[in-house]
């Protein structure tokens, strides 16, 4: 599905969005008022320039449009893989972007992300997973690594991983697995203005957003240990 089709389906009341260097920035109309629209397209491999363009747009929105919701469209194949990018500390620019999204949250901007096609590792961490809530289209690919590469790196037979993947959401690619683990709030069959409106309402109602993903992962049965362990570490009395 093209970016324009997705935008038309999400924002029938109108959108004005520019794409430069695979980075999406702009605004759109919803029944609840204008929202900032930003993200990446065409399976962007996030580099310094993309991360800084997104960060700059988040900071502009915080400065010029207090409280305006942020809608992230996520289509990233991960981080750019190059020596020159690492030389300038790519993790630093991705952390900067994450800090900007976090600042927007603290200043009262509701946010949600929608994985439109691909969401992989570092590219997903830096903005999609920083939103108050993340959603994914049914056809979206969400992963750290595909099973073949995973088999190569872990030296575990591919067939074995495929077998285990049917029983456990813990390692295998797929939006459904992220849903069960609490990383993705809901899967949408197709981009839809009604689903977006309802998601915006939910995000607004739960402000200020605290991170509920462990609890959700437990309720859905995908991550059965994390919530309990975090709770113990958080509240166990420790001797002097």
Burial 191-221 (b: 16+ CB within 10 A, else e): bebebbeebbeebeeeeebeeebbebbbeee
Number of residues engaging other proteins in binding (CB under 8 A):
77
Q: Which is nearer to other proteins, 63 or 189 (CB)?
A: 63
Binding of other proteins by 22 (CB under 8 A): no
Binding of other proteins by 6 (CB under 8 A): no
Closest CA to 74 of 39, 47, 110: 39
Give the nearest distance from C-beta 218 to other proteins in angstroms. Answer: 11
Give the nearest distance from C-beta 193 to other proteins in angstroms. Answer: 28
Binding of other proteins by 234 (CB under 8 A): yes
Among 3, 43, 144, 186, binds other proteins (CB under 8 A): 144
Q: Which is nearer to other proteins, 68 or 223 (CB)?
A: 223
Binding of other proteins by 181 (CB under 8 A): yes
Among 156, 187, 193, 195, binds other proteins (CB under 8 A): 156
Contacts to other proteins from residues 51-110, by CB under 8 A: 52, 55-56, 59, 62-63, 79, 81-96, 98-100, 102-103, 106-107
Binding of other proteins by 162 (CB under 8 A): no
Q: Which is nearer to other proteins, 69 or 222 (CB)?
A: 222
Give the nearest distance from C-beta 31 to other proteins in angstroms. Answer: 29
Q: Which is nearer to other proteins, 110 or 182 (CB)?
A: 182
Binding of other proteins by 206 (CB under 8 A): no
Give the nearest distance from C-beta 64 to other proteins in angstroms. Answer: 11
Q: Which is nearer to other proteins, 15 or 109 (CB)?
A: 109
Q: Which is nearer to other proteins, 4 or 91 (CB)?
A: 91
- SS3 for the chain, per residue? CCHHHHHHHHCCCCEEEEEECCEEEEEEEECCEEEEEEEECCCEEECHHHHHHHHHHHHHHHHHCCCCCEEEEEEEEEECCCHHHHHCCHHHHHHHHHHHHHHHHHCCCCEEEEEEEEEEHHHHHHCHHHCCEEEEECCCEEECCCHHHHHHHHCCCHHHHHHHHHHCCCCCCCHHHHHHHCCCCEEECCCCHHHHHHHHHHHHHCCCCCCCHHHHHHHCCCCCCHHHHHHHHHHCCCCC
């Amino acid at each position: 599905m093209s970016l324009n089709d997705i935008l038309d389906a999400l924002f029938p009341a109108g959108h004005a969005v520019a794409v430069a260097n695979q980075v999406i920035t702009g605004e759109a109309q919803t029944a609840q008022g204008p929202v900032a629209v930003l993200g990446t397209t065409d399976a962007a491999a996030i580099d310094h320039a993309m991360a800084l363009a997104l960060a700059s747009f988040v900071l502009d929105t915080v400065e010029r449009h207090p409280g305006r919701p942020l809608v992230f469209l996520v289509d990233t194949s991960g981080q750019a893989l190059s020596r020159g990018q690492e030389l300038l500390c790519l993790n630093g620019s991705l952390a900067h972007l994450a800090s900007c999204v976090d600042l927007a949250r603290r200043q009262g901007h509701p946010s949600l992300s929608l994985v439109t096609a691909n969401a992989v590792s570092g590219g997903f961490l830096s903005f999609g997973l920083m939103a108050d809530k993340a959603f994914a289209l049914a056809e979206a690919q969400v992963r750290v690594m595909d099973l073949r590469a995973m088999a190569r790196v872990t030296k575990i037979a591919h067939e074995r991983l495929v077998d285990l993947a049917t029983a456990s959401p813990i390692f295998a690619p797929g939006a459904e697995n992220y849903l069960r683990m609490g990383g993705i709030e809901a899967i949408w069959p197709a981009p839809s203005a009604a689903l977006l409106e309802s998601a915006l309402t939910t995000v607004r109602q739960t402000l200020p957003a605290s991170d509920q993903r462990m609890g959700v992962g437990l309720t859905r049965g995908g991550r059965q240990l994390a919530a309990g362990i975090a709770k113990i570490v958080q509240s166990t009395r420790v001797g002097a």
